[in-house]
Amino acid sequence: MDFESKITSREISQLLWEREETLGTAESCTGGRIAEAIISIPGASKYFKGGEP
């Protein structure tokens, strides 16, 4: 994962954590790469509810 993706993932993580919101994904063209970026952040299981390829 490139540096910019890591920064974006951390920003998403912080926003979801602060707002006490959750996230799920439905991916086809990306092959699960959005979910991969999200779960690369420690603690993601608290706000990421899973994905559907």
- Choice among 1-5, 11-15, 34-38, 43-47 with the minimum mean pLDDT: 1-5
- Position 28 scores a pLDDT of 87
What is the pLDDT confidence band of residue 53, given thresholds at 50, 70 and 90? Answer: low
Write the pLDDT tens digit of every residue in 6-40: 888 899 999 999 999 999 999 888 888 888 989 98
| pTM of the model as a whole | 0.72
How far is residue 4's CA from residue 1's CA, in Å, rounded to a whole number? 8
- Position 23 scores a pLDDT of 92
